[in-house]
Amino acid sequence: LQKKVTDTDIPSAQYGGRHGVTMLPGGGIGPELMGYVREIFRYCGAPIDFEVIDIDPSTEGNDDLDYAITSIKRNGVALKGNIETKSQSLSEVSRNVAIRNELDLYVNVVHCKSYPGIPARHKDVDVVLIRQNTDGEYAMLEHESVRGVVESMKVVTVDNAERVARYAFEYARQNNRKRVTTIHKANIMKLSDGLFLEVANRVHKDYPELEHNNMIIDNTCMQAVSNPHQFDVMNMTNLYGTIVSNVICGLIGGAGLISGRNYGDHYAVFEPGTRNTGTAIAGKNIANPVAMINASIDMLNHLGHKEHAQVIYDATYQTIVNDAIRTPDLGGTHSSTDVVENILKILSAKRVNW
């Protein structure tokens, strides 16, 4: 299914059915979360060999970044934490954005589905957020034209608007969804958002069985907070996409639960949906490991390791839903390692059936 939707190349397995995957722990809570994923994978024998690349945000130059990009190009797939951008210098680009642009990861998919029993503002939310991942306000083209006047380019291209719209409609068709909502501010940004909307309307003509409506970003935020159930699949530009993802993830339990997938035609990168660094909670054994575990499950599914993906998913679900082993962000009193140990305990009980 994934192949049909995105046409992302899926690397063939190496000797013994194993896959090499680039691991970019990033900063903040990234390294500890990656440690949990490795422990779980080791425990259930997931056939993945990680190539770990640490990118130090305080180093000058882009050697680490180049090495990371080369590694992802070689492996085809990466699991990623958020990489900090320390400097405010214009010459220092965000490494996260650079990776997405260099690998042409043009679409980001965040499936925001509520977990039963988890304390949240809204229950039974099930929205798929599809975001253009390389254009828009993230072009990183800013300059001071004259002293005291700063200009920032927002770039919308027909090709990228079409690729993301087609992804959204195709996803809706293949997953029996009913409606795609395109998010924009075309009343003010008539050319840029106007083009994004126009392309979505055109692509919709190829999907007559699906409903397509559009909504202005400010109203979308209000509607998302008051009645998120009205949304099914959302098609968004880059900046609106990150805002709406954070709003909806916040509504259903926060940054620690939901994963996000980035696809291009050749590469796929998996990470927590809201891409937080979590600097303030790093090293305290309180970060919720579930978003990164879910990202690793997405990665296993992408590579065709469905059985491993399923057992890890079931054990994680049982831990937070049935056993209520939850970190403080979900209203619990458990530590990150309590959650992981419970997952390992469930995996161990199932082991006899493998």
Binding site for ligand ATP (CB under 6 A): 28-29, 82, 84, 255-256, 276-281, 287-288, 291, 329
Kind of pairing, strands 268-272 and 77-80?
A: parallel
Closer of 175 and 279 to ligand ATP (Cβ): 279
Q: Nearest distance from residue 201's CB to ligand ATP, in Å?
A: 34
Question: Please, which residues bridge with residue 52 across strands?
Answer: 23
Q: Nearest distance from residue 286's CB to ligand ATP, in Å?
A: 7
- Residue nearest ligand ATP, Cβ-based: 256
Integer Cα distance of 221 and 156 in angstroms: 22
Integer Cα distance of 259 and 312 in angstroms: 14
Q: Nearest distance from residue 255's CB to ligand ATP, in Å?
A: 4
Kind of pairing, strands 19-24 and 179-184?
A: unpaired
- 142, 90 Cβ separation under 8 angstroms: yes
Q: Nearest distance from residue 191's CB to ligand ATP, in Å?
A: 30
Closer of 29 and 180 to ligand ATP (Cβ): 29
Which residue from 89, 347, 129 is spatially nearest to 232, judged by alpha carbons?
129
Q: Nearest distance from residue 174's CB to ligand ATP, in Å?
A: 30
Tokens of 352: 């006899």
Q: Nearest distance from residue 203's CB to ligand ATP, in Å?
A: 32
Closer of 172 and 255 to ligand ATP (Cβ): 255
Integer Cα distance of 217 and 123 in angstroms: 23
Which residue from 318, 254, 322, 346 is spatially nearest to 291, judged by alpha carbons?
254
Question: Please, which residues bridge with residue 140 across strands?
Answer: none
Closer of 186 and 290 to ligand ATP (Cβ): 290
DSSP string, 19-70: EEEEEE--STTHHHHHHHHHHHHHHHT--EEEEE----TTSSSSHHHHHHHH
H/E stretch holding 241: helix 238-251
Q: Nearest distance from residue 230's CB to ligand ATP, in Å?
A: 26
Q: Nearest distance from residue 62's CB to ligand ATP, in Å?
A: 20
Closer of 111 and 163 to ligand ATP (Cβ): 111
Indicate the residue type of 25: P
Closer of 96 and 192 to ligand ATP (Cβ): 96
Question: CB under 8 Å to 271, separation ≥6 — which residues?
Answer: 79, 80, 81, 82, 259, 260, 262, 292, 295
Closer of 11 and 256 to ligand ATP (Cβ): 256
Tokens of 266: 């050749």
In the block, residue with structure tokens 């995957």: 21
Q: Nearest distance from residue 262's CB to ligand ATP, in Å?
A: 17
Closer of 101 and 288 to ligand ATP (Cβ): 288
Integer Cα distance of 224 and 240 in angstroms: 13
Integer Cα distance of 236 and 127 in angstroms: 13
Kind of pairing, strands 126-132 and 233-236?
A: parallel
In the block, residue with structure tokens 């200009």: 151
Closer of 161 and 281 to ligand ATP (Cβ): 281
| Secondary-structure percent of the chain, ordered helix, strand, coil, rounded to 5 | 45, 20, 35
Q: Nearest distance from residue 164's CB to ligand ATP, in Å?
A: 24
Closer of 9 and 54 to ligand ATP (Cβ): 54
